[in-house]
Structure 1
Amino acid sequence: MQKEYTVTVYTEDRIGITNRITIIFTRRGINITSLTTAETEIPGVYKFIITVMSTREKLDKVVGQIERLIEIHRAFVHEEEEVVYQELALYKISTRSLDTGDIERLIRENQARILTITADYFVIEKTGHQQELTDFIKKLEPYGLIEYSKSGRVAIVKWSRRFHEHLKELQAVPES
């Protein structure tokens, strides 16, 4: 049965690695719904956070293929309960809606905040899970929603401590 999974991949910083990873998903017919990458707390080690709809069996095969790439330290498949995650959304709203005052209450009630205000628009920031962020769009539409943009998933794995200790050991070993 297909469901949403988070795949984390720890890599070296190499040109083309994103393409090499994503093509493995493409060849297996798995659509990536979100991809975020950034350097970890260990210099030179990058973490890809990939969200997909798939079966566990298919993903286990994909992770096996990914780990065969030279630049990969490790790759993991995670169920939703194994990760703590958030996404970030920005909403551009017409400044005219500030005249009523209702929108400020809506922003507070939804744990969002205003980032910037111009003569024509203002930008609201909200973090949460995907459904929360899209539900907030519906609440903002009556106020003159101009634009919406959302990040991919940012996640921390609940059980990854031993692996991170391994990465720190790699950092301590001088390169030859």
Structure 2
Amino acid sequence: MEKENYTISVYTENNIGLLNRISAIFLKRRINLDSFTASVSEIKDVFRFTIVVSVTEEQVRKIITQIEKQIEVIKAFYHRDDETIYQETALFKISSKLLFEERQIQNVIKESNAQIVTVTPEFFVLEKTGRRYEVEALYDKLEPYGLMQFVRSGRIAVTKEKMHISKILETFTIEEVN
């Protein structure tokens, strides 16, 4: 089987130690995480981890099974890249003198659809949101000028199809009441 990118969405309660146990599942299998993001979800008091890995479908199925064995995990899903809409965000901190002395940087900013977030006498900060390859392309263009700092977020993603997580949560609520 061939490896491909999978976005794993894990809906959980917010409990201490869960992140450690989930990361241990990947560690045991020697699977590197390409991206990991945690946030609140569309459901009150439910959190969502978004994890990107490059594995086979058989491996991702086994990972989902192990993740769902964690008590605090409500449900976990996996999707291929073509089944999701996803973005990453990056910040680039660059010396302000380059903005005025190197005309090419202004062209790079325009061509990449990056936004200037702030400008000070010492530095300016660019924000670029897009696919990873778009962020990496901008990095490659700016790196020769000297980056003072660079940071990229993990992937954030929504599925193209309904995920039905609200219906799943309703069954948990009904079961808890009975």
Match of 1:126 in 2: 128
Residue 168 of structure 1: how far off its partner (Å): 6.2
Runs of 4+ in 1 over 4 A off after TM superposition: 168-176
Match of 1:73 in 2: 74
Q: Mark the runs of 5 or more structure 1 residues left unpaired by the alignment.
A: none
Aligned length: 176
User: Cα deviations across residues 5-57 of structure 1 (Å, max 9, x unaligned)?
Assistant: 11111001111111111111111221111100101121210110001111110
Match of 2:24 in 1: 23
User: Cα deviations across residues 107-140 of structure 1 (Å, max 9, x unaligned)?
Assistant: 1221111111122111000001111111101211
Match of 2:93 in 1: 92
2:11 is the counterpart of 1:10: yes
**1: CA distance, partners of 2:145 / 2:40:** 38
Contact 1:38-1:48 within 8 A present in 2 as well:
yes
Residue type at the aligned position of 1:141:
E
Match of 1:149 in 2: 151
Q: How does 1:151-166 map to 2 (within 5 A)?
A: 151-166=153-168
**1: CA distance, partners of 2:177 / 2:123:** 51
Match of 1:48 in 2: 49
**2: CA distance, partners of 1:173 / 1:61:** 26
Q: Mark the runs of 5 or more structure 2 residues left unpaired by the alignment.
A: none
Q: 1:111 to 1:164 in 2, by over 3 A?
A: farther
Residue 62 of structure 1: how far off its partner (Å): 1.1
User: Cα deviations across residues 48-95 of structure 1 (Å, max 9, x unaligned)?
Assistant: 000111111011011011111111111111111111000000001111
**1: CA distance, partners of 2:61 / 2:176:** 32
Q: 1:123 to 1:172 in 2, by over 3 A?
A: farther
**2: CA distance, partners of 1:171 / 1:112:** 44
Match of 2:59 in 1: 58
TM-score, normalised by the number of residues in structure 1: 0.90
2:173 is the counterpart of 1:167: no
TM-score, normalised by the number of residues in structure 2: 0.89
Residue 103 of structure 1: how far off its partner (Å): 2.3
Kindly, what percent of the aligned residue pairs are identical?
41
Residue type at the aligned position of 2:50:
I
Q: 1:109 to 1:165 in 2, by over 3 A?
A: farther
